[in-house]
Each structure stands twice: as C-alpha cells, then as structure tokens.
C-alpha cells in the first residue's frame, strides 16, 4: 500500500516547512547582524575610546605641543638672560638699577608718582 505517490504530499510539506524555517533563521540572523553592526558603530563613535574621544585627545595634544613650544622659547630666553648676567657687567648694572633701584655713589634717584585720576563730576547739578 505504500506507493511512491502517497509519500509525496508528506515530502512536499516537509520541504515547505524546511524552507520556511530556513527563511525565518535567515531573517533572525540578518536582524542580529544588523543589531550587532549598529551596536559596534555606536561604540566606535561614542564609546570610551571612540572617535569623539580621539578628537578631544588630538585637540589636547595640539594645545600641549603649543604650550611646550612657548615654554621652550621662554626657557631659551631665560638661559640667554642668565648667561648675560654671568658674563656682562653692564647687564648686571642694568638689572640692579632697574629692578632693585640701586644708584651709584653720589647719584640721586627721583621717582615721579602717577597722577591721580580726577573724581567723576556729576552729570546733573543738584537741585536748589
């Protein structure tokens, strides 16, 4: 009684169920892959070491390099100044006169005070 024609509907039904399961699994896998890609993209841009953090660190690096350059220039200037003070008597005398207000024997130093600003005048005269 088992004829090859009797098993065909069962076989076709099993093939349809298999194909449907395959499509569902594919859709689930595709959805999971999309969610994973979205999560990774978010993490790359906004994560702890993401693009935003990288840009902030680059800006901070540029700022620190500018500070280093300016401090190196200042350091070089101060080294030149120290070298002049160690070897040039005129530089020593200039510093003593300007910074410490020293004078040679017999010299008199006059200092002028800064003029005081005038008090503001009222714009309206007082009423009588």
Give residue-wise pLDDT tens across range 56-94: 999 999 999 999 999 999 999 999 999 999 999 998 888
Tokens of 21: 């399961």
Question: How far apart are the C-alpha atoms of 31 and 25, rounded to whole Å?
Answer: 10
Residue 122 counted as domain residue: no
Same domain, 54 and 42: no
Distinct helix (H) and strand (E) counts, the chain: 3, 0
In this structure, is residue 87 part of a structural domain?
yes
Can you read off the two tokens belonging to residue 72?
């190196």
> Within a domain: residue 93?
yes
Full residue range of the structural domain in which residue 91 is found = 49-103
- The tens digit of pLDDT for each residue in 10-61 reads 888 888 998 999 999 999 999 999 999 999 999 888 888 888 888 999 999 9
Structure tokens at 49: 């070491």
How many structural domains comprise the chain?
A: 2
Q: Would you say residue 123 lies in a domain? A: no
Q: Residue 1: inside a domain, yes or no? A: no
Residues 61, 74, single domain; the answer is yes
Burial bucket for residue 84 (CB in 10 Å: 0-12, 13-18, 19+): middle
Contacts 24+ apart (CB under 8 A), 39-42: none
For the whole model, what pTM was predicted? 0.47
Classify residue 112: in a domain, yes or no: no
Q: Cα separation of 63 and 67, whole Å?
A: 6
Residues with Cβ within 8 Å of 100's Cβ and at least 6 positions away in sequence, in order, are: none
């Amino acid at each position: 009684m088992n004829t090859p024609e009797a098993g065909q509907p069962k076989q076709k039904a099993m093939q349809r169920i298999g194909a449907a399961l395959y499509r569902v699994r594919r859709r689930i896998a595709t959805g999971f892959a999309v969610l994973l890609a979205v999560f990774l993209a978010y993490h790359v841009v906004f994560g702890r070491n993401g693009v935003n953090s990288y840009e902030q660190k680059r800006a901070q690096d540029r700022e620190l390099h500018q500070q280093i350059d300016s401090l190196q220039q200042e350091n070089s200037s101060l080294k030149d100044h120290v070298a002049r003070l160690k070897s040039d008597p005129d530089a020593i005398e200039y510093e003593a006169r300007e910074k410490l207000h020293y004078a040679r024997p017999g010299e008199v130093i006059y200092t002028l005070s800064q003029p005081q600003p005038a008090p503001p005048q009222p714009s309206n005269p007082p009423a009588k």
